[in-house]
Amino acid sequence: MTLDIPKNSVGIVSAEKVLIDKPLTLACGVVLPSHELMVETYGTLNADKSNALLICHALSGSHHAAGFHEGDDKPGWWDSYIGPGKPMDTNRFFVVSLNNIGSCFGSTGPTSINPQTGEPWGAQFPALRARDWVESQRLLMEHFGIQRWAAVVGGSLGGMQAMRWALEHPDKLANSIVIASSMKLSAQNIAFNEIARRAIKSDPEFRDGNYLQHNTAPRRGLALARMIGHVTYLSDELMGQKFGRELRSGDFAQGEAEPVEFQIESYLNYQGDKFSGDFDANSYILITKMLDYFDLSREYQNDPVQAFGHANCDFLVVSFSSDWRFAPQRSREITDALIAAGKNVSYAEVESDQGHDAFLLPNPRYEAVLGNYLSRVADQLEGAV
C-alpha cells in the first residue's frame, strides 16, 4: 500500500535514541548516571540555533508527535499542529519532540534494564516529578547545542512542564505555551488517578509490578484504567453526539437471547484493549503519581504569584470550554497569577465540545490562536537575524 502523505505533513520521519551520558539527580534523591531518550525532530535548526520549539507530551504521549513512520498510516499525536504552514510551522521552527524518562516508548523507564540488577526496573523505577522531566530535557537541549528555546509547548501534563521550565530555567526559554493545564490537580483528578491505579494493581497479573519477570502483563487492569481515564477526557455532549444510546449489538426485544452492547461500551472496550497492548502499567502508575504530586507553587509558600515572579518569558495560556478535567477556571487562575506577577500573558478560551482531548484535535480557532502567537515569535526571531 502506498501512503498518501498530505502536502502539509513533515512526511516520513524516524526516531533517534539519544544517550544522555551525564548524571541526572532526581527530586527523590536517586541519581541516574546516564539515561536514554527517544527523540524526533522536524524542520531545520537555524544558524544561531534560536528557532527551536520543545514539545512536552502528556500522560500517554510519545516522541512521535508529527509525520508518519515508515509503513504506518497513522500520523503523530499532534500532527494537526506540527508541519509546514501549521501552527508549529516547520518551515520556520526546529521542533524537538521526545519521550520522557519513565515512559515506555524507548526512553529509560520501568521496562528498561536496571544496570545494578540486570533485570527490568519494573515497579522499582524511582519516583519522578515534573522537574525531573525538565532537567532531562535541559540535558537534551545541551545535546543539540541549543541555548534558549523559542518556546516550550505542552498540553495537560505537557503544560505543567512548560510552566516548570519557566521557573526552573527562566533564561532558557522565550515563551511558555500552556494548553489545557493547571497549577496543580484537583482532589477529583487525584481521585480518578487513584481509581485507575487500583484497577491496574487489582489485576492478578500485576504481580506487585514484577510482571515482566513473569513474561506477562496486567492488560485487563490497564485496559480498565484507560477506560476510566478516557471517559474523563471526553465531554458529555460529545459522547451524546457520537454514541447516544445507540446499540452496537443485541436487541432489547430479544431479552437474554442476544445480550445488548451499547456503542459507547464497544468504543471504550476497544480503546482500553488497544492501550493495554501499547503502554506499560508501571509507567502509567509512575506518571499518574507524578501528575498528583505536581504543585507549581509548593516551594513558594503556595503563592503562585511569587512562583511566577521567577519567570522571564512570555506566556500563552489556552483552555477549552467543555474540558472538565482541566477546566477553563484552572487556566484563568494561571493567567491571573501571571498578570499579578507582572508577566506578559495572552489567554484564549476556545469553544469546543471535545472535552480535554480538544487540545489534540483540529479546531479552527485553536489553530488560529496558536498559529498567530507562534507566527509573531518567528517574526521576532527572523527580524533579529
- Among 335, 318, 316, 315, smallest CA distance to 326 is for 318
Extract the C-alpha cell encoding 230: 478516557
Alpha-carbon gap, residue 196 to 269, rounded angstroms = 15
DSSP string for residues in 66-117:
SSB-TT--SPPTTTTTEETTSSEETTT-EEEEEEPTTSSSSSSSTTSB-TTT
Alpha-carbon gap, residue 111 to 104, rounded angstroms = 7
Residues 6+ apart with CB under 8 A from 211: 122, 205, 217, 218, 281
Consecutive H or E run containing 191: helix 187-201
Consecutive H or E run containing 305: helix 304-308
Q: Are 83 and 10 in contact (CB under 8 A)?
A: yes
Alpha-carbon gap, residue 340 to 329, rounded angstroms = 16
Active site residues: 156, 323, 356
DSSP-based three-state secondary structure for 356: helix
DSSP for residue 351: P
- Among 201, 160, 192, 190, smallest CA distance to 177 is for 160
Consecutive H or E run containing 270: helix 263-278
Distances (CA, A) of 225 to 77, 99, 199, 269: 20, 21, 6, 11
CB atoms within 10 A of CB 222: 29
Query: How many CA atoms lie within 13 Å of 282's alpha carbon, on the beta-carbon side?
Result: 28
CB atoms within 10 A of CB 185: 22
Pairing status of strand 345-350 against strand 314-320: parallel
Sign of CA dihedral 118, 121, 123, 129: positive
Q: Are 154 and 184 in contact (CB under 8 A)?
A: no
